Amino acid sequence: MAAGKVYLVGAGPGDPGLLTLRARRLLAAADAVVFDRLLSPRLLGFVSSRAVCYYAGKAPGAHEMEQEDIHALLISLARAGKTVVRLKGGDPFVFGRGGEEALALTAAGVAWEVVPGVTSAVAVPAYAGIPVTHRDISPAFTVVTGHACSQAGGVDWEGLARTGGTIVVMMGMAHLGEIAARLVAAGRPPGTPVAVIRWGTRAAQEVLRAELGTVAAEVAKRRLRSPAVVVIGEVARLGEVLAWAQARPLFGRRVLVVGDVADEAADAADVLEALGAEVYDWTLAGCSHPLSVSPLWAAMEIVSPSGAAPGFAAEPPAPGVIAMAVAKGERVLWWPSPLAVDLWFAAWREAGRDVRQLAGWRLAAAEPRVAVRLSSYGIVADDVAPHPPAGAVWVPLAVAKPDMVRLLAWWQAQAEGVGDARPARPPFARAGGGCSFDAVWVLSDAAWMVLTGTAAAAGHRLTAVRLLARDAWVVNRLRAAGADAQWAPDADAVAARLTEPEEPQAWPSEVAMGT
């Protein structure tokens, strides 16, 4: 068995756009991913469906896995020949215990590499408009942990106070009062500007501006808790002038994109993120398991001159079953979604078929976006028709996997830390949870119905201020199902809709699901 390898990978501070290119490539190639708390779930979308993900998050006072258990897991996976990504918030070697993990791997004789990430110590202040250095204000900065403020051999706060420059405190919320008092006692003026940035780079980002002498009282008054980065020094004043992130039109908004296929949803999510939104994407492709190729091969035989259509239903399949329609008499293949196109042609290739065998058949798409998907396979759709021909039979291609919806609920609960692996028991496998969004942008009504249906089965509830759809026909279908959907053809329209007052809607509900 070939030896495995562990990559200690920095995921950045929370905004998925700050992930490095090398980190993304490694996630796609990994056999196993051991990931931390405070990461964007979009990062797991870069992981191959064949990989297993293990949650190793740590919240204050609640550790899903102890550090020694994480070491043992990494070593075990590598010795089993796996390519392992240890995905850590920020940078692995900046208060991320990456050094401890590297030493454990070295002692065990396991090969490893480190992939630096964008550290929260610099990125979080930057998202609050605070440069940690400035030629005229602060020529240096010091990054320290406040986690062990009172421990012997910890930070020399008195010496740090005399050093000058900017002080960036990580994990210091529990001891902020003591830290401030020791800095003031050592000579830092009580009027020194301080910025406390909670959930930096995320939709929930909030900034408290205070002075060193009063910051602890202000934090208590606002009831701010971790995760937060504290910036102490004159540069903290610049955030009032340079607050660029808050100026983006969708800053602070949480948007869920629901679609059929990953690239379509990712493209939509990227545009929304550029406008400042924190985006989550859910796709049928990400939770679908292709069926045995046997029924597909049988369907392919329909295409042959002597083929028949044994065992296929004339009625459309239930939600959660991805299918396509075949009309033998009229010689038409009809695809209802981009995912159906992908699944069909994946099986077609696996069966060793040649696209020229489709000569003489009309290839039809239910919607223009399905026709676009066909074009990616070098095929120009003969027709765009909303319904299959009369007499067509339905060929099942895949079924959706309900448990994946729990990953969204885990994000909302933020590391309550239930669960240890995907797909067996994804994080936050507890029923009765929920997700809250400012908007849900639906690219596929079929995907939306599956999502709400699987949420109901898992005991979860989705709440959003706006239910939006990119295409007019999707709006009509959602409204026909009783949902109060609105048309938003692009990201700018999403932003415009979110400025309008509206009461939140919740799903699943009987009307929203059309049951």
List, by residue number, the catalytic residues. Answer: 36, 58, 171
Helix H or strand E encompassing 298 = helix 293-303
Burial per residue of 157-180, b for 16 or more beta-carbon CB atoms within 10 angstroms, e otherwise: beebbeeebbbbbbbbbebbeebb
Decide if 127 contacts 205 (C-beta within 8 A). yes
The DSSP 8-state label assigned to residue 389 in this structure reads P
- Going from the C-alpha of 343 to that of each of 59, 293, 319, 361, 487, the distances in angstroms are 40, 10, 17, 19, 29
The token pair that represents 33 in the structure block: 């991913």
d(CA 336, CA 359): 21
DSSP, collapsed to helix, strand or coil, labels residue 385 as: coil
Q: Among all chains, which residue has been given the structure tokens 């630096």?
A: 116
d(CA 440, CA 319): 19
The DSSP 8-state label assigned to residue 46 in this structure reads G
Both ends of the chain: CA-CA distance in Å? 52
Burial per residue of 329-352, b for 16 or more beta-carbon CB atoms within 10 angstroms, e otherwise: eeebbbbbbbbbbbbbbebbeeee
d(CA 180, CA 39): 29
d(CA 44, CA 65): 19
315, burial (CB in 10 Å: exposed 0-12, middle 13-18, buried 19+)? exposed
Q: Which sign does the torsion angle of CA 310, 313, 314, 320 carry? A: negative
Closest CA to 30 of 13, 47, 11, 14: 47
